[in-house]
Structure 1
């Protein structure tokens, strides 16, 4: 994990998932974030604040995540870019701030999903601990994302593989 912008409370994280599932089904599962708590361990709640246009551009959601560590994070996203079946991007504000970007592709009969997370923390205690706790925060993020990949595969009744 690198730092984004050179600040010790900034994170540049990338997650790769590969699923033996149709691209369309994977896209639908990710686009409908309000259903994530049904299959993604760690996502406690997703509330739709604004629906957005027909393809979801402008949609706003509030997420509450329960990590493996003893804390929760809440933040809002606004979808800022949609390329159906290819790309979904959003601006994040709240206890995390920055950009999240999902990329989707088909390769070798698998759907590949890449999630890039370029955020910084805003909670005072996380910023205070960041110089020492970065490896733990990264481990926590990776555990949540691993749970997401496993949960999505189960939800779609698909085989998953680590990318």
Structure 2
């Protein structure tokens, strides 16, 4: 097993129609306004953006993300990532009951040397940290959509 590789999967059931949820998720530069763990997203050249992310553990993840696929009709946002993590992340947004289901999948390799050395021992903590980051995002997006009346 390569201890520095991670695969994450989160499912968010949200109020509002899929197009409204997709519209919020595709605006990554706005994430720091509503998602507590997304500390900063700075547009770079072209479609790339630099992001700083931190949940509860005392470290920040710095990545540069670039769009690989943006398909509102299919509800798919796919990003490639480099930096402290290398790999990809994908949102898939679909209707679900009276609201929306947003599925987040991510496959990454830890590239930052210190975190890479810690990965075999800290793997459960890294996974729990990611789960807390995603939970805070789901709660915040739910509140944002409800406040917007969606």
TM-score, normalization by structure 2: 0.93
Residue 112 of structure 1 is aligned with which of 101, 105, 129?
Answer: 101
Contact 2:9-2:103 within 8 A present in 1 as well: yes
- Number of equivalences: 146
Q: 2: distance between equivalents of 1:70 and 1:61?
A: 23
Corresponding position of 2:33: 38
Residue 67 of structure 1 is aligned with which of 55, 75, 79?
Answer: 55
Residue 23 of structure 2 is aligned with which of 28, 40, 47?
Answer: 28
Q: Within 5 Å, give how 1:80-159 maps onto structure 2.
A: 80-85=68-73, 86-157=75-146
**Moved runs in structure 1, 4+ residues, more than 6 A?**
none
Q: 1: distance between equivalents of 2:133 and 2:110?
A: 17
Corresponding position of 1:12: 7
Corresponding position of 1:56: none
**Greater shift after overlay, 93-102 or 122-131?**
122-131
Which consecutive unaligned segments of at least 5 residues does structure 2 have? none
Q: 2: distance between equivalents of 1:47 and 1:7?
A: 31
The answer to whether 1:78 aligns with 2:66 is yes
Q: Secondary structure at the match of 2:146?
A: coil
